[in-house]
Amino acid sequence: MDAYDGIVVGGGHNGLVAAIELARAGWRILILEQGERLGGAVMSAEITRPGFVHDLYSTNQNTFRGGLVYGVLGEDLERHGLRYATTDKPFANAFPGGRVLKVYQDAERTLAGLREHDPGDADGWLELKELFDRLSPAIFELYGSALPSWAAAMAAGRALRRLGVKGAAEGAQLLLSSTRELGDLYMSSPEAKALLATWGMHPDFGPDVSAGAMFPFVEVFSDAAAGMSIVEGGASRMIDALAAVLADHGGAARTGAAVRRILTDGDRATGVELESGERIGATRAVVASVTPTALYGRLLEGGPVRESLRREAARYRYGPGTMMVHVALSAPPAWAAGGDLGEFAYVHIAPYVADLADTYTAASNGLLPSSPLLIVGQSSAVDPSRAPAGRAVLWVQVRALPARIRGDAAGEITASDWREAAEPYADRVIAKLAEYAPGIDELILDRAVLTPADLEAHDPNLVGGDSVAGSHHLRQNFAFRPLRSTPGYRTPVEGLYMTGAATWPGGGVTGLSGHLAAQTVLGGSTLSARAASIRRRLAGGK
pLDDT tens digits, residue range 406-438? 999 999 999 999 999 999 999 999 999 999 999
Dist CA 472 CA 42 (whole Å): 20
| CA distances (Å), origin 124, targets 119, 188, 413, 445 | 9, 8, 41, 42
Q: Identify each DSSP E strand in 2-43 by its residue range.
A: 2-9, 29-32
Give me the pLDDT at residue 536, please.
46
Mean pLDDT of the chain: 95
Assign 537 a pLDDT band (cuts: 50, 70, 90).
Answer: low
**What mean pLDDT is predicted for residues 258-263?**
98
Give me the pLDDT at residue 378, please.
98
**What mean pLDDT is predicted for residues 121-140?**
95
Query: Which residues make Cβ contacts (< 8 Å) with residue 343, sequence separation at least 6?
Result: 87, 89, 378, 381
Select the more confidently predicted residue: 97 or 532. 97
Q: What percent of the chain has pLDDT over 90?
A: 89
pLDDT tens across 441-483, in order? 999 999 999 999 999 999 999 999 999 999 999 999 999 999 9
Beta carbons of 249 and 234 less than 8 angstroms apart: no
**Residue 278 CA to its chain's centroid (Å):** 33
Dist CA 158 CA 381 (whole Å): 42
Query: Which residues make Cβ contacts (< 8 Å) with residue 95, sequence separation at least 6?
Result: 101, 191, 194, 351, 352
Domain residue ranges in the chain: 2-39+63-82+234-316+470-538
Give me the pLDDT at residue 541, please.
47
68-79 and 528-538 helices cross at what angle (nearest 10)?
110
**What mean pLDDT is predicted for residues 176-205?**
97
* Number of CB atoms found within 10 A of residue 89's CB: 23
**What mean pLDDT is predicted for residues 269-281?**
98
User: In 3-state terms, what secondary structure has residue 411?
Assistant: coil
Give me the pLDDT at residue 166, please.
86
pLDDT tens across 290-348, in order? 999 999 999 999 999 999 999 999 999 999 999 999 999 999 999 999 999 999 999 99
Give me the pLDDT at residue 156, please.
85
pLDDT tens across 357-384, in order? 999 999 999 999 999 999 999 999 999 9
The CATH class of the 2-39+63-82+234-316+470-538 domain is: alpha beta
Give me the pLDDT at residue 526, please.
41
Tell whether the model's pLDDT for residue 273 goes beyond 60.
Answer: yes
Tell whether the model's pLDDT for residue 542 goes beyond 70.
Answer: no
Q: H helices of 25-149, where?
A: 62-65, 68-79, 107-117, 119-143
Dist CA 199 CA 177 (whole Å): 14
Tell whether the model's pLDDT for residue 229 goes beyond 60.
Answer: yes
Give me the pLDDT at residue 534, please.
53
| CA distances (Å), origin 10, targets 37, 240, 255, 290, 422 | 11, 15, 9, 7, 28
Assign 154 a pLDDT band (cuts: 50, 70, 90).
Answer: confident
Give me the pLDDT at residue 2, please.
80
Give me the pLDDT at residue 527, please.
45
Tell whether the model's pLDDT for residue 540 goes beyond 80.
Answer: no
Tell whether the model's pLDDT for residue 529 goes beyond 60.
Answer: no
Smallest Cα–Cα separation from 85: which of 237, 195, 224, 243? 237
Assign 528 a pLDDT band (cuts: 50, 70, 90).
Answer: very low
Tell whether the model's pLDDT for residue 539 goes beyond 50.
Answer: no
Dist CA 92 CA 333 (whole Å): 15
